[in-house]
Structure 1
């Protein structure tokens, strides 16, 4: 069974899920969503919850969710991005100036009842984006925990402590 905890997230869980029949995948995905919703309620979050990178990819790759990358265009260009979903910047430029049109841009790309998984560098901006989306009436806004690159390690580098790329999930670089 696919475990939603970050400690158990791995490429192996993605591979194991891909080998299951459709009904088995649906049940595991529903279980991950339910656990995320329960954690969100317990933590008092205003959005639907947080998902591991592997659980988010399983949802996206099976067509159950839309991925929205909220990083800047520069981050996507120079660090890489997931070859699925949409780009709606939460903030722009090197100063990360908040995008005042975020919700309007999101509304132009995604339906309010769609299951959305938000991705940023470490999971912090995407949590803010999920919160803003929920406040705007998006009913299934989830944050991808760990983000694309994960947290900064003891050497002030990203990529070694979790994140989308760390878990070997699909990504490309321009």
Structure 2
């Protein structure tokens, strides 16, 4: 999608990328929530929430995270402008016009963000990573989230409107 240079990836993202290549993932790779937060705090990556506006408002969101919805509304209608909006956001956040930052995509469980990362990679957007486990984590044995993994489970920063 762009011909701009990508800064050298931090070691954690290089490892995630190598693992993704070994597993033939169609996007740059995945990182766990704790590692994602460290990268964001160190200014080494952008955190982009791909959940709906409603999810962010009513379930919670990471402070200062960026937002590009993968789908919208309660019906989760796919956002046809997703890749274009993500590329524009990445370009706006670049330290220099010729250097695009790595982007970490976050959703509820890490599944939609993996699909979003795949679509972004297919559109030619470089260094797009998935945050595995997502904001709420995987379902447990009684079909509830937040009991054994995910952003909130690990006590990482989040707020609720």
- TM-score bin (small chain): 0.7 to 0.9
Q: Deviations over 1:3-41 (max 9, x none)?
A: xxxxxxxxxxxxxxxxxxxxxxxxxx9332122111100
Which one of 53, 56, 72 corresponds to residue 92 of structure 1? Answer: 72
Which one of 55, 59, 69 corresponds to residue 49 of structure 2? Answer: 69
**Partner residue in 2 for 1:148:** 135
Counterpart-to-counterpart distance in 1, 2:101 and 2:119: 15
> Where do 5+ consecutive residues of structure 2 fail to align?
1-8, 92-98
Counterpart-to-counterpart distance in 2, 1:56 and 1:160: 19
Counterpart-to-counterpart distance in 2, 1:140 and 1:105: 16
| 3-state SS, counterpart of residue 122 of structure 1 | coil
Q: Deviations over 1:73-124 (max 9, x none)?
A: 1100011000123111101111111111111211221128320000000000
Is structure 2 residue 45 aligned with structure 1 residue 58? no
Counterpart-to-counterpart distance in 2, 1:161 and 1:123: 14
**Partner residue in 2 for 1:83:** 63
**Partner residue in 2 for 1:114:** 101
Higher RCO, Cα 8 Å, sep 6+: 2
Q: Which has the larger helix fraction?
A: 1
Counterpart-to-counterpart distance in 2, 1:144 and 1:128: 12
**Partner residue in 1 for 2:13:** 33
Is structure 2 residue 161 aligned with structure 1 residue 169? no
Counterpart-to-counterpart distance in 2, 1:95 and 1:133: 22
Q: Deviations over 1:54-89 (max 9, x none)?
A: 111111111111111000011000110001231111
Is structure 2 residue 112 aligned with structure 1 residue 125? yes
CA contact (8 A) 2:138 2:146 kept: yes
Counterpart-to-counterpart distance in 2, 1:95 and 1:161: 27
Counterpart-to-counterpart distance in 1, 2:78 and 2:52: 10
Post-superposition offset of 1:46: 1.7
Counterpart-to-counterpart distance in 2, 1:124 and 1:114: 22
TM-score (norm 2): 0.86
